[in-house]
Amino acid sequence: MIWFLLACTGPDVSSADAEAQHQAHEDTSSPALPDIEQAAAQPTMTADEVARTIELALSSPPDPDEIIEAYLWLMSQGDDVCPGDEHNITDLWLYGCEALTGYSYAGVTDWLDTPFDEGGMSGSVMGIAGDFWIDTPQGDQLEAGGHSIKAFNPSLLVTEIVGSFRWSGGSDWLASGYSGNLTQEYVVGAYVAFRGAANINGVHIAGHELTFPEGCNGHPVGGVSLRDPSGGWYRLDFDVCDSCTEVVFEGTPVGEACVDFGNYIEIIKGRL
């Protein structure tokens, strides 16, 4: 209504004046943005170096148990007021509190520990979700935004870590800071799988339905991508039960390589 009244009571403007004002606006408008030529990313690794980097990243696959155990231990160090619950930080402490023990808590969390029964399969689901940080008197910190969850029974393990996590008192992959959206699975007698993407110790890696069927003796099905320091991506797509394939950088083949996934498979199986 205010804009309508101003329009009705404003001074008359002739068409010639209006054209002059329009021309003046065009003359003082911002110039067009310049064209910028950016060189395409160039590979900095050989095909064999790509394979070894993938093996190195998968030698310490992210484990939700480490996040869960660190969280539960840190929560147990609080008191009856701060955070006041051994499993959850409520929005009462959204901006932080300090326990008598010297541990500090801030944010909000949602602890999950429940049975599941779906599709004829039953087991347990455990994990933590939230946006929070916890500081120790010694200066260590657990900070998180996302969720870290596992579903399991004697013949099944499915883990999912989504978001960003860092625990300065943890092992390398967690102490250096994890970010990603990663699902890892192990079904006894069937397969191990790595799906999604993650930053593991500074290595950005993605699994494209990367699966290791039990009958393939450690060889994969699917694909894997690795980010080069230049910003481009390498892609390896595997034929069924073959660990050797062509390495392609941004659509251009750079050679062939073989990736040994045996260590990764044993680590995942050992977590059940």
H helices of the chain, in order, are 2-9, 15-28, 47-57, 64-75, 172-175, 262-269
140 pLDDT above the threshold of 50: yes
Distance between CA atoms of 234 and 257, rounded to whole angstroms? 12
Average pLDDT rounded to a whole number, residues 200-228? 97
pLDDT at 10: 40
Q: Tens digit of pLDDT for each residue in 85-135?
A: 999 999 999 999 999 999 999 999 999 999 999 888 899 999 999 999 999
Average pLDDT rounded to a whole number, residues 135-156? 98
- Where residue 5 falls among pLDDT bands split at 50, 70, 90? very low
Average pLDDT rounded to a whole number, residues 7-30? 47
2 pLDDT above the threshold of 50: no
Q: What is the mean pLDDT of the chain?
A: 90
What per-residue string of b and e applies to 114-127 under the rule 16 or more CB within 10 Å gives b? Answer: eeeeeeeeebeebb
pLDDT at 229: 94
> Which residues is 105 bridged to in the sheet?
97, 134
pLDDT at 206: 98
User: In terms of pLDDT, which residue wins out, 16 or 193?
Assistant: 193
204 pLDDT above the threshold of 80: yes
17 pLDDT above the threshold of 90: no
With H, G, I as helix, E, B as strand and everything else as coil, classify residue 182.
Answer: strand
Q: What pTM does this model have? A: 0.83
Q: Tens digit of pLDDT for each residue in 22-67?
A: 454 455 556 676 666 666 789 999 999 999 999 999 999 999 999 9
Contacts 24+ apart (CB under 8 A), 96-102: 101/77, 101/137, 102/136, 102/137
Q: Could you state, in order of their start, the residue ranges of all structural domains in the chain?
A: 45-60+180-272, 61-170
